[in-house]
Amino acid sequence: MITRLLVAATVLTATVAGVPRAATAGAGEDPVGAALDKAFAEATGGADGPGVQAVAMRNGKVIWSAKTGRAIDDPPAPVTGSTMFSLASFGKSVLATYALHLVEKGTLALDRPISAYTGKKVAGSGVVTLRMLLTHTAGYPDMYASPRIAPLFPPGKQYKPDRPYTFAMLAPGIRKPVKPGARYEYSNTGFILLAHVLTKVSGGEKALERDLANFYRKTGERGDHLTAERSKSAYPRFAHGYAEERDGTLTDYFTAFGATGVPTDVYGLPFGDGLFAGTAYGAARYLDALFVGKRLLRPATLAAMTTPTPQAVAAGETYGMATYRTEIAKRAWQGHAGAYGGFTSMGATDLTRGVTLTVVTNRLATKGNAQTTWENLAKAYATATP
């Protein structure tokens, strides 16, 4: 699973607070729900385990949902349907969709050097294009490995979780790209730059937050379940992220470093590599609107977004533009995963059947993380349906 920096209940089906109730049936009449319930219970840790939300949608309607575990361990607080999680790298797909929308409008061009939007101070900006940023082919070294900015992040000595980050703080870690366009290599740096490009064309961070919110209203979501805007009001709804140590103990990403609210590196600008926070429902609404309802992008743009690039194919990957294909039980799902700060996420759509499945968790651990839980659910869905 690809990350920025990893710092090392009872299942309630279709009744998640804040999520529209799915049509229910008796246990013998709903084999899909029963199969998903069973897989969810087996993959997660129950009331005292990781906080997990999961949602399945088909053609715009919730057909199943579940939640379990703790949003906060101490003092104990259960996950609800409105509990917010960092979506981490899943948000790359969300941000890329907006960027491609601007390409459709003519505001951006896929193959124009990004210096047209950022100026020439950014290393490689005269050669690197928007397409390269979206497809991880720009060739930028990992900025978080740069000694110039690594201390700004945990467990670095300069990490201050209540201090807002700016692009200027991160810019020293952006180094000259290596052979831009030549090969696929997953890059958080490229999406930091994508957010910078979008900030420039919008006219500032607040303007970009506004524009993103307006665009994603097309999903039918008003921001309660999917947002890029960091706010103090989000804190009471937020789960804490937990990293499981080798001895099985948990490190609370929020309290371990002295944060008094949501740590400022968990989501929001300038972090285009992990810009969004929300719920499993918000993530599902986005994917359904994109891939099933086709309300966010034109068909030709969507086809380009989901087609693996030649560079990705050469590397044995299925990555297109901020989305990739996963095959489970002989079914192909299109989406993206993420992990950061004790949070994990996974969401994808079975394009053939119009089914979307999303999972978010607040524990970076072997059991109960989003990827393994999602895979178990996807297998169960395939088994229970034609």
Rounded distance between C-alpha atoms, residue 254 and residue 248, angstroms: 18
Residues 6+ apart with CB under 8 A from 189: 138, 140, 141, 142, 143, 173, 174, 273
Helical H runs in the chain?
A: 31-43, 90-105, 115-118, 130-135, 167-170, 188-202, 205-216, 280-287, 299-306, 310-314, 370-384
The DSSP secondary-structure symbol of 291 reads I
- pLDDT score at 20: 53
Look at the chain and report how many structural domains it folds into: 1
CA angle, residues 149, 151, 154, in degrees to nearest 5: 115
In a domain, 185, yes or no: yes
- pLDDT score at 18: 54
- pLDDT score at 10: 28
Give the residue carrying structure tokens 């101490």.
74
- Is 382 exposed, middle or buried, given 0-12, 13-18 or 19+ CB atoms closer than 10 A? middle
CATH code, domain carrying 59: 3.40.710.10
The per-residue pLDDT for range 338-356, each reduced to its tens digit, is 999 999 999 999 999 999 9
Is residue 260 within 8 A of residue 25, CB to CB? The reply is no
In a domain, 154, yes or no: yes
Hey, which residues does 358 pair with through a beta bridge?
A: 55, 347
In a domain, 9, yes or no: no
Give the residue carrying structure tokens 């900030």.
199
Is residue 87 within 8 A of residue 284, CB to CB? The reply is no
DSSP string for residues in 237-289: GBPPPEEE-TTS-EEETTTTTT-SSS-TTSSSTT-TTS--EE-HHHHHHHHII
Residue 235: other Cβ atoms inside 10 A: 13
Range of the structural domain that residue 230 is part of: 27-384
Tokens found for residue 329: 């039980």
In a domain, 7, yes or no: no
- Size of the chain in residues: 386
- pLDDT score at 303: 97
In a domain, 129, yes or no: yes
Tokens found for residue 287: 């994917």
The per-residue pLDDT for range 106-116, each reduced to its tens digit, is 999 999 999 99
In a domain, 309, yes or no: yes
Is residue 321 within 8 A of residue 104, CB to CB? The reply is no
- Bond prior to 236 in cis (omega within 30° of 0): no
The per-residue pLDDT for range 2-55, each reduced to its tens digit, is 334 433 332 333 334 455 545 444 445 689 999 999 999 999 988 888 999 999
Is residue 312 within 8 A of residue 134, CB to CB? The reply is no
The DSSP secondary-structure symbol of 224 reads S
In a domain, 206, yes or no: yes
Low-confidence spans in the chain with pLDDT less than 70: 1-29
- pLDDT score at 7: 37
In a domain, 139, yes or no: yes
Rounded distance between C-alpha atoms, residue 165 and residue 186, angstroms: 23
Is residue 261 within 8 A of residue 253, CB to CB? The reply is no
